[in-house]
Structure 1
Amino acid sequence: MLTTMIRLVALGTFAAAVLNAPALAAGGGGGGGGGGGTDPYAGAYSAQKPQPTYPKRPGSRATQKGKKPNNQSSIGDPAFAAGYRVAYDTIYERNDYAAAIAQLKSLGHDDHPNVANLIGYSYRKLGDYEQSQVWYQRALKADPNHVLTWQYYGLWQLEQGNREQAMYHLSRIAAICGTACEEYKSLAAALEKPTGTALVY
């Protein structure tokens, strides 16, 4: 009886693994090499901004190479996603950075790397480099592999005249997603411009 039960459990486990194999191969499951899932900033970058898609669930490649910390599980909350979408559009469609900061802070998830990064970006666009730096560092504290923050913070470094630091940020991006990812290409292109060139990112 016990041997039969063990065989049934083993057979059930094997069957479940076989049935889930296509989903895992298609990137639908977790696992290494980017954490699986869809990239909320995937696709073409228009005028050096992320494609207007939004974080959908933990494990997104744009935010982390591996697994997300537990404190970021709220990304799947529909109210959070809707509020994030509104703030995102306020930044990239209307360029109303002050309003976007208020919208992002009202979400109550300041330590989420996507939120902190966009707050930092908005402060940078408003010319408040001190606050911008605080928020970029907050995003990287929440997720040291948040590629978009390394890119935007690298641009911040360039605007401050810190080319060596921007090069360090570029190396961090390369270590996380390689040299073919959009974040790497964008920061590398900015670094190729002469010092003092106005950046439009």
Structure 2
Amino acid sequence: MIKSSMKLAMLAAVLTAPIILSPHQAALAAGGGGGGGGGAGGGELYGSSYSTPAPAYPQQKDRKTTHRVKKPIKQSGFDDPAFRDSYRAAYATIYERNDYAAAIDQLHALGRDDHPNVANLIGYSYRKLGDYKQSQVWYERALKADPNHVLTWNYYGLWQIEQGNRDAAQYHLSRIAAICGTDCEEYRSLAAALEKPPGTSLVY
């Protein structure tokens, strides 16, 4: 009888004791975990995608507070068939028909000027039209949307070479190396452009 009472007392103590979780277990129990992928890099459709993880936003506990928790911005857009098809059409206008003015109109019509892929192609189109000032504005806009947008670093590096800013282009090359290494196409094409004599016309 005494043994049975002791067993019951021990069982009660175990069941009522607080469960101690490691910090990682506690984070998982609270719904935490690693952040998802950020914005698109070279593009889900074209090129490679290298992006920083989306930041973890704190959960809103008090519904009465006037401050709203900011949700991560979903940059992809390529899961929307209409966006994807229109983007492909603009892409073809640039790279197959070389009609850069028409492509700019098509890209603006997407209504996603702050998407890094869209801003980068607008910048590229302006550069091919010889409007370097507008081209720079759009390259900067693409990198603001995604600082690891490797194709923008590549195209903007070519912009720098054409402007005679070889030191700046070398910096862009180092940024590409940090994002995707020295074997990716974006690194190799910019490195090849830098090896050409100053003043050489670029076909990129």
Question: TM-score over 0.5 for the alignment?
Answer: yes
Equivalent residue number for residue 49 of structure 2: 62
1:76 Cα deviation (Å)?
1.3
Is the CA contact 1:111–1:138 (under 8 Å) kept in the aligned structure 2?
yes
State the TM-score, normalizing by the size of structure 1. 0.70
**1:187 counterpart letter in structure 2:** L
SS in 1 for 2:169: helix
**1:150 counterpart letter in structure 2:** W
Which blocks of at least 5 consecutive residues in structure 2 are unaligned?
Answer: 1-33, 56-71
State, as a whole percentage, how many aligned pairs show the same letter.
Answer: 73
State the TM-score, normalizing by the size of structure 2. 0.69
Equivalent residue number for residue 93 of structure 2: 90
**1:151 counterpart letter in structure 2:** N
1:117 aligns with 2:120: yes
1:70 Cα deviation (Å)?
1.8
In structure 2, how many angstroms separate the alpha carbons of the residues matched to 1:111 and 1:63? 17
Is the CA contact 2:42–2:151 (under 8 Å) kept in the aligned structure 1?
no
SS in 1 for 2:77: helix
Question: CA-to-partner distance for each residue in 1:80-120, whole Å, 9 max, x for gaps?
Answer: 00100000000000000000000000000000000000000
* Greater Rg by CA: 2
1:39 Cα deviation (Å)?
8.0
Q: How does 1:133-172 map to 2 (within 5 A)?
A: 133-172=136-175
In structure 1, how many angstroms separate the alpha carbons of the residues matched to 2:99 and 2:42? 21
Which blocks of at least 5 consecutive residues in structure 1 are unaligned?
Answer: 1-30, 42-52
1:181 aligns with 2:184: yes
Q: CA RMSD in A?
A: 2.6
In structure 1, how many angstroms separate the alpha carbons of the residues matched to 2:165 and 2:42? 29
For the structure 1 residues 164 and 110, does the alpha-carbon distance in structure 2 shift closer, same or farther, using more than 3 Å as the test? same
Is the CA contact 2:161–2:194 (under 8 Å) kept in the aligned structure 1?
yes
Question: CA-to-partner distance for each residue in 1:9-68, whole Å, 9 max, x for gaps?
Answer: xxxxxxxxxxxxxxxxxxxxxx89x959x9866xxxxxxxxxxx826xxxx942525349
Q: Which ranges of 4 or more aligned residues in structure 1 deviate by more than 3 Å?
A: 38-41, 65-69
In structure 1, how many angstroms separate the alpha carbons of the residues matched to 2:76 and 2:188? 30
In structure 2, how many angstroms separate the alpha carbons of the residues matched to 1:152 and 1:40? 11
Greater relative contact order, per chain length (Cα 8 Å cut-off, separation 6+): 2
Is the CA contact 2:114–2:142 (under 8 Å) kept in the aligned structure 1?
yes
Higher share in helix:
1
Is the CA contact 2:42–2:117 (under 8 Å) kept in the aligned structure 1?
no
SS in 2 for 1:70: coil
Equivalences, count: 154
1:75 Cα deviation (Å)?
2.7
**1:66 counterpart letter in structure 2:** P
For the structure 1 residues 39 and 101, does the alpha-carbon distance in structure 2 shift closer, same or farther, using more than 3 Å as the test? closer
In structure 2, how many angstroms separate the alpha carbons of the residues matched to 1:102 and 1:109? 12
SS in 2 for 1:75: coil
